[in-house]
Structure formats: structure tokens, C-alpha cells
Amino acid sequence: MMSPMNRQKAYDHPVEIADHIYWVGFDEKASNIHCNPYLVIEGNQAVLIDAGSRPDFATVMMKILQTGIAPEQILALIYHHPDPDLCGSMSNMVDICANPALKILSESHNNIFLSYYIEREKRGILKSIDEHDFTFSFNGRVLHFIKTPYAHAAGSFVTYDEKTKTLFTSDLFGSESRQWDLFLRLPEDCPACGDHRRCIDERGFCPLKDILEFHKKVMPSEMALKYAADVIGRLDVKVIAPQHGSVFTERRDIDFLIKRLGSLKGVGIDGI
């Protein structure tokens, strides 16, 4: 784990997690829920993913500016589900971007609720990913949208960057992290552990426990989570970038987490 002082310095600025993909969030010290907005840049244009809550707006926008992107260069705002932790700043983002071509992209079930975050006369910029044939291209960069219904909202989906094979997974692969760094590598023996409630090496902290408990609490059912894991398991993924928790870049960890989440028991209603 990075020391608190080094972590603060590192996370005071945008962090590049893949080629021209920047984390533009912040190190949340008041709670264990870290919200991760991401900016994807190609040339002089950008797309902002899960922009954050209203209190986070100033911090997120400052880091966007630090990447060299001006608000009017943002072509689209992508929201994976309608929760306020990622959508709360939507009206601020729409106003400051001042781009007449700006689009808000989400799934049609989500857009019913997203419309309440912005003024009525601006709701025309809300577009469904279905209308775009589940893709969005800018300056030759292609983003693909893949539905993962009920993981955790009816309109949930994930976004795949074709160029870097980065998958933006929203709440999937997220965590309510008791200890946090932006990048997480699981201990080598994690996959061999049969009981993730207690570390076999008796380490004081197990990040996998936080990940599994988060999914049990946030996802509605074992079936919904398994369906999403199966969908993601068919993709060629090099980076997992969730909206909560940490980024995964190790193929070993990605493969293990897909399998482990797909077989997780006691999820949502199935845990009652």
C-alpha cells in the first residue's frame, strides 16, 4: 500500500490508467466509498464516464482541466446507472461543457430517471445507447456498450474501449474499501483461499473480502451477477476500471474476479 503522504501527492492530479484514459476522482477520506470518474481523450475531444456527485464537481472539473481538456471539448457524458454518486453533478457538467453537440449517453431504462437531474428544456440531449447501435466513436476511437441488466440497475451496462481493452464496469468489480489505492493487485495466494472471510496467511486486511461483501450488498441477486460475469468473461479485457474501489490491470486478477463473482452466493435477495 502507498503511504498516506505519497498517496495524497499522487492523487492530487489526474492519473493515466491506460493510453489517454485518466482517473479524475479523488482520495475520499470521509468514507470507504471511493467514486471514480474517468476521462477518455482522443486528439482534441473527450468523453467523461460516471462524472460524480454534485459535491465532487469542482474537484473532478479541476482534474479534467489539468489533462489539458477544456469543458467544451467534451462530446459525451456516459452514465452507467442513475445513482446520485455518479450523476449528481450532471446539471453542472451540462452547463459548463457549453458544447451544442453534447450528448448524455445511457440505457433507455436509466434515461427515465436521468431526466430528473437536468432542466426540462435540456432533456433532448439524453440519448439511448440503443440509438447508437451500442457504440460511440470520436476521432477514430470506438467505445462499445454491453448491457448487464440488474447489475445493479435494470438499465445497467458496461463500456469497453476498443483501443486499450479497458472495461468501465460501474459498480461491478467495485468495493467499499477499508484501505484504498487506485490500483489494486490481489495477493498471489488469494485465488487458492477457500474462505475469504479470513485470510489464510492471517494478513490484517483482505481486499477481496471488501469486494465480495460489496457485491452481496449492492447487487440484487446471484442470477444478475452471474449473467454480468458471463458477459464480461467473453471480452478481451486488459484493464478493469470500476466506478467504486480500485482499478485492476493484472490479467490473473481479472480472470479470477470474473470467475469468483460469477459463482458468488448470498447475493442480494438470495442472501435472505
pLDDT at 112: 95
Give the integer Cα–Cα distance in Å for 154 and 159.
16
Return the SS3 of 271: helix
Give pLDDT, residue 9: 61
pLDDT of the residue at 206: 80
Q: What is the pLDDT of residues 65-74, one digit of tens each?
A: 999 999 999 9
Contacts of residue 4, Cβ cutoff 8 Å, sequence gap at least 6: none
- 160 CB-side CA count, 13 A: 17
With beta carbons less than 8 A apart as the criterion, state whether 15 and 236 touch.
no
% of the chain residues with pLDDT over 70 = 92
pLDDT in tens, 103-136: 999 999 999 999 999 999 999 999 999 988 999 9
pLDDT category at 5 given cuts 50, 70, 90 is very low
Domain count, the chain: 1
Cα 60 from chain centroid (whole Å): 14
> Global pTM?
0.93
Its domain, for residue 37, covers 4-271
Confidence band for 197, pLDDT divided at 50, 70 and 90: low
- The enclosing domain of 196 has a CATH number of 3.60.15.10
The mean pLDDT value of the chain amounts to 91
Distance CA 11, CA 24 (A): 9
How far, CA to CA in Å, does 147 sit from each of 86, 112, 229, 238? 18, 17, 11, 19
